[in-house]
Amino acid sequence: MDRTFHATVQNVPIDIDLQEGTLSFFGLPSALFWLNPSLYRMLAPLIQESGRELAQLLIAYESSQGTKEDYEFMVEKLGPTFEEGFLAWGRAVGVAGWGRFELPIFDKANGRALVRIHNAWELRAQSQMPYQWGCPFLKGKIIGIFCHALGQSCWAEERVLEGQPHTVEFLLSASNSTISGEIERLRRQAADQKQAELQTLEQQLIEKQRTILQLAMPVVRLWDGILLLPLIGEIDTHRAALLMDSALAAITKHAARVVIIDITGVPLVDSHVANSLIKTVQASKLLGVDCMLVGISAEVARSLVLLGIDLGFVQTFSTLETGLTEALAKQNYEITSRSRTANPTARTPNKKR
């Protein structure tokens, strides 16, 4: 028993193999899908993910492939003129549910044409759905066929007609624009935009890093003319450069005369860190400012000796307290106790007379 169903509709041979579960249309393997939800749900997320404009061009490009065969083996053979052959082709693909085709204008001499499609399958698939993307598949087919018909490159402007459900028009005209060219333009535009975004992000990152470094290297005004620069954590290349900048900027801002650099919180003082400290002290001296180095532990002192680093030109102290006492003395302040009966531990700097 023959379990294959054969039919011919609008000159289109249709074969359905009931046993194998296959369908052929014009002799080509085919499949039948619901426009909505099946096709809509397949296409919508892909278009949203890649972006509407690029997705439209990609779909149009792929649908335009093979239109030479459509033109030569179908349009030219289905009618004595291009207009009749095209409309016959339209009736043939209408059997597959693509829509009803009209050709109100075909002016080969001036490279112009107007194609109108009623019940366009793409519009029907998107009907009353939240995301719309037009008819890029049909647009690619029309552009491809009419490039061959007009004998030159052409472009189609798409317009969905108001008041006529699921009806779209394509106004074709000679043009240097191509689908592949538009895809390349859009990709270059996206690449340029991405590059600009990356540069902006990079600049923002640099600014954030600078802010973090500044917060990690604060300058504290301890007293009139006396600044404290506490260092905490490892001193890398960026922090080393910021060390001198922060010190010199604060000296100028506060008219400082003494700067105390506290390295109590620096876990490792190597030659790199030591050189940064030396340069900061030397630059400060050029501004007439005395620098003191405090917080030098026995381990740090041993490391500096082993590295052969000479800090003989700068005053060093083991604790911040001793350094601050010396700094106050340089500014002609002295620390005197308040009433011992009231608070024997409280002290305050007083100007020497």
Yes or no: say if 299 and 273 are a contact pair by the CB < 8 Å rule. no
Half-sphere exposure for 58 (CA within 13 Å, toward CB): 12
**Pairing, β 333-337 against β 347-351:** antiparallel
Integer Cα distance of 79 and 92 in angstroms: 12
Q: What is the pLDDT of residues 4-39, one digit of tens each?
A: 899 999 888 999 998 889 999 988 899 999 999 999
Average pLDDT rounded to a whole number, residues 67-87: 86
Mean pLDDT, the chain, whole residue set: 87
Give the pLDDT of residue 147.
93
Residue 171 pLDDT class (50, 70, 90 cuts): very high
Please give the average per-residue pLDDT across 81-93, as a whole number: 93
pTM (two decimals): 0.62
Q: How far apart are the first and last CA of the chain?
A: 125
Which is more confident, 312 or 118? Answer: 118
Q: Are 172 and 114 in contact (CB under 8 A)?
A: yes
CB 337 within 8 A of CB 346: yes
Query: Is 80 exceeded by the pLDDT of residue 336?
Result: no
SS (H, E, C) the chain: CCCEEEEEECCEEEEEECCCCEEEECCEEECCCCHHHHHHHHHHHHHHHHCHHHHHHHHHHHHHCCHHHHHHHHHHHHCCCHHHHHHHHHHHHHCCCCCEEEEEEEECCCCEEEEEEECCHHHHHHCCCCCCCCCHHHHHHHHHHHHHHHCCCEEEEEEECCCCCCCEEEEEEECCCCHHHHHHHHHHHHHHHHHHHHHHHHHHHHHHHHHHHHHHCCCEEEECCEEEEEEECCCCHHHHHHHHHHHHHHHHHHCCCEEEEEEEECCCCCHHHHHHHHHHHHHHHHCCCEEEEECCCHHHHHHHHHHCCCCCCCEEECCHHHHHHHHHHHCCEEEEECCCCCCCCCEEEEECC
Phi, psi angle pair for 116, to nearest 5°? -120, 135
pLDDT tops 50 at residue 286? yes
Beta bridge partners of 159: 169
CB 266 within 8 A of CB 243: no
How far is CA 61 from each of CA 33, 39, 92, 116, 348, rounded to the nearest angstrom? 22, 19, 22, 20, 83
297-311 pLDDT, tens digit per residue, is 888 888 888 888 877
Is pLDDT of 246 > 60? yes
Domains (ranges, CATH) in the chain? 1-32 (no CATH), 34-177 (3.30.1380.20), 217-351 (3.30.750.24)
Please write the tens of the pLDDT for every residue from 89-133: 999 999 999 999 999 999 999 999 999 999 999 999 999 999 999
Sign of the Cα pseudo-torsion (246, 252, 254, 259, in order): positive
Q: What percentage of the chain exceeds 70 in pLDDT?
A: 93
